[in-house]
Chains A and B, each alone.
Chain A
Amino acid sequence: MALAGLFLITFLFVHLGINLLLLVDDGGELFNRAAHFMASNPLIQLFQWVLFAGFIIHMIYGIILQVQNWLARPSRYKVEGYSHLSPFSKFMIHTAAIILLFLVIHLVNFFFKAKFGHIGEVNYEGMVLEDMGGLVRAQFQETGLVVFYIFALIILAFHLHHGFQSAFQSMGWNHSRYTPFVKILSTLIAILVPLGFIAIPICIYFNLA
């Protein structure tokens, strides 16, 4: 659970790095080249399956653990837990459900379209590439989709805020020297990564990039 979660966070960084290329003012060329590389490099194609496995393991473990947790208290309290605890940690399964819904919509909108559908093409000095940048720009003209993306990414922020530092505790990586740093890093990742992703639909929608 923890390891799969940390692995998925490294994927978020790669994904964000490539997405931010959309904000480069070159008509989407750099992004399209990067997208083409990601879609054609055999090593990355292979690693894609590792990534899918990471998602599946994280989800299956998450569901098993949650079901066990629900079963561990068959009769509930009249007054529910008052104990001071982080609000983010209480709703991991709920934020996870929203993120999963987002993931499905996201894959249908982009990944499956690029893999199995037809999208426009662009020509860079004789090299014909799929116009992923154009697809992203077209999608993010829709207000509903942009709002949903922003909402889902805020939910992702909550999930990451608890998840990152929690993974360290679960792995037993606890030390007076680095645990405070891990907690700060967790907050930073939870704010900066979703913020980076949110910047893209916002910039495209308002014609800033």
Chain B
Amino acid sequence: MDFKLKIWRQKSAAVKGRFETYKVSGITGGTSFLEMLDVLNEELIAKGEEPVAFDHDCREGICGTCSLYINGRPHGPDDRVCTCQLFMRRFKDGDTIIIEPFRARPFPVLRDLVVDRSSFDKIIQAGGFISASTGNAPDANAIPIPKRNADKAFDAAACIGCGACVAACKNASAMLFVSAKVSHFALLPQGKVEARERVQKMVAKMDELGFGNCTNTYACEAECPKGISVENIARMNREFLSAKLVTDK
């Protein structure tokens, strides 16, 4: 298959970027989207041109490193997959594919399609952890946890922090990410101890970094490669309000 690619090129955060058009040909349906970009880059290097910079790591949908805003959707047209799990058979021969970086004020473009997502790390550093010393792995079932809570916490913990929720949100809000992290801890007894403090710190950091506000449009849930539910956002709002109303201090 042949494709026309319109790719955002930007030398660095300091300079302005623009779209460049490229052509790739002879791509098979079983080629992943990232491999297709690898093919393009090989050609560019052979021609002595600068290859397109894009984020990638595990290429099996678990690390959350790959990004890309493809034809108006983070991680492209398929639901519940990362860009690395998107295959070219999803497109038609001769298609024009527009590839942009994730866009949000807290996600500045570093180069081409690579954005700095360390804002997410800063939110985690603000409280997305349990400060008790963990020691060795505890015995299974040493602390009884209701199956339903364990399941919900596990679903929330499936968030890989890729930032598709921010990229998809019309407000560039990070509420789905933050709420997944808050929920993951708040649902489990080990995390409950610091739950009130955690939610306030993480929300404050999120606001400070300049993410937008949640207006409940739910594009985040639709685009999340791990299917994180907006139910987590409601839980975080609940946790936040009760933390603001009741305090132990």
Binding site for B on A (CB under 8 A): 65, 68-69, 71-86, 89-90, 92, 162, 165-166, 169-174
A66: min CB distance to chain B, Å: 9
Contact B72 A77 (CB under 8 A): yes
Nearest CB in chain B to that of A170: its residue: B237
Contact B217 A86 (CB under 8 A): yes
B116: min CB distance to chain A, Å: 14
Residues of A within 8 A of B223 (CB): 83
Residues of B within 8 A of A169 (CB): 216, 230, 233-234, 237
Contact A80 B72 (CB under 8 A): yes
Contact B215 A79 (CB under 8 A): no
CB of B105 within 8 Å of the partner chain: yes
Task: State in angstroms the CA–CA spacing of A75 and B217 once bound together.
Answer: 20
Partner of A79, one of B71, B214, B236: B71
Provide the B99-118 mask, 1 if CB < 8 A to any CB of A, else 0.
01001111000000000000
What size tier do the contact residues of chain B reach?
A: 35 or more
Contact A89 B103 (CB under 8 A): no
Nearest CB in chain B to that of A88: its residue: B217
Contact A68 B218 (CB under 8 A): no
CB of B231 within 8 Å of the partner chain: yes
Residues of B within 8 A of A76 (CB): 103
Task: State in angstroms the CA–CA spacing of A71 and B171 once bound together.
Answer: 9
13 residue pairs of the A-B complex, CB under 8 angstroms, read A65-B215, A72-B172, A73-B172, A76-B103, A80-B72, A83-B73, A84-B222, A85-B170, A85-B219, A89-B217, A170-B216, A172-B237, A172-B238
Partner of B72, one of A79, A165, A173: A79
Given known A-B contacts A84-B222, A85-B218, A174-B231, A69 and B213 have beta carbons under 8 A apart: yes
Partner of A72, one of B100, B171, B236, B241: B171
B168: min CB distance to chain A, Å: 5
Contact A174 B235 (CB under 8 A): yes
B112: min CB distance to chain A, Å: 14
Binding site for A on B (CB under 8 A): 6, 19, 69, 71-73, 98, 100, 103-106, 168, 170-173, 210-219, 222-223, 230-231, 233-241
Residues of B within 8 A of A82 (CB): 71-73
Given known A-B contacts A77-B72, A83-B222, A85-B222, A72 and B210 have beta carbons under 8 A apart: yes
Contact B172 A69 (CB under 8 A): yes
Given known A-B contacts A72-B172, A74-B105, A89 and B212 have beta carbons under 8 A apart: no
Residues of B within 8 A of A165 (CB): 216
Task: State in angstroms the CA–CA spacing of A162 and B215 once bound together.
Answer: 9
Contact A171 B237 (CB under 8 A): yes
Partner of A174, one of B210, B234, B241: B234
Residues of A within 8 A of B170 (CB): 69, 81, 85, 90
Partner of B105, one of A71, A89, A171, A173: A71
Can you list the 4 inter-chain pairs with the closest CB atoms, starting with the nearest?
A: A172-B238, A174-B234, A72-B212, A82-B72
Task: State in angstroms the CA–CA spacing of A166 and B106 once bound together.
Answer: 25
Task: State in angstroms the CA–CA spacing of A169 and B173 once bound together.
Answer: 15
Task: State in angstroms the CA–CA spacing of A68 and B81 once bound together.
Answer: 30
Task: State in angstroms the CA–CA spacing of A26 and B199 once bound together.
Answer: 58
Contact A78 B100 (CB under 8 A): yes
A205: min CB distance to chain B, Å: 36
Task: State in angstroms the CA–CA spacing of A172 and B212 once bound together.
Answer: 18
B204: min CB distance to chain A, Å: 14
Given known A-B contacts A89-B217, A170-B237, A83 and B19 have beta carbons under 8 A apart: no
Contact B69 A77 (CB under 8 A): yes
Contact B105 A90 (CB under 8 A): no
A147: min CB distance to chain B, Å: 30
Task: State in angstroms the CA–CA spacing of A171 and B216 once bound together.
Answer: 11
A176: min CB distance to chain B, Å: 9
Residues of A within 8 A of B222 (CB): 83-85
